[in-house]
Amino acid sequence: VEVNSMLSRLKEFSGRIEISGGIFDFDIKRDRLTEVELELAESSVWDKPEYAQSLGKERARLESIVLTIEKLQ
C-alpha cells in the first residue's frame, strides 16, 4: 500500500515538473548526459585523470536523474 502511495505521489510530482516549465530542465540534463558519455568515450580524456573522474561523477548524477524521470513518464 505504501509503495502505491509513493508511486502516485511521484507521478504527481512528475506532472508538476512538466507544468512548472522545467525547473529541473530534463531535456538539458539528458543532452548533457549524452555529451558527457561521448567525452568519456574519447581515449584522450583519460590523460587527465582528475577531469575524467569529475566527468564520471557527473555522468552518474545525470544518469540517476534522467533514468528516474524516464521511469515516471
DSSP assignment of 6-42 equals HHHHHHHHHHHHHHTT-TT-HHHHHHHHHHHHHHHHS
What's this model's pTM, rounded to 2 decimal places?
0.65
User: What pLDDT was estimated at residue 13?
Assistant: 67
User: What pLDDT was estimated at residue 19?
Assistant: 46
If one compares 10 and 17, the residue with the highest pLDDT of the two is 10
User: What pLDDT was estimated at residue 27?
Assistant: 86
Is the CB of residue 72 less than 8 Å from the CB of residue 11? yes
pLDDT in tens, 14-69: 666 554 555 468 888 999 999 999 999 999 999 999 999 999 999 999 999 888 88
User: What pLDDT was estimated at residue 22?
Assistant: 52
**Region of residue 42 (left: phi > 0; alpha: psi -120 to 50; beta: else):** beta
User: What pLDDT was estimated at residue 73?
Assistant: 73
Three cell numbers at 64? Answer: 540517476
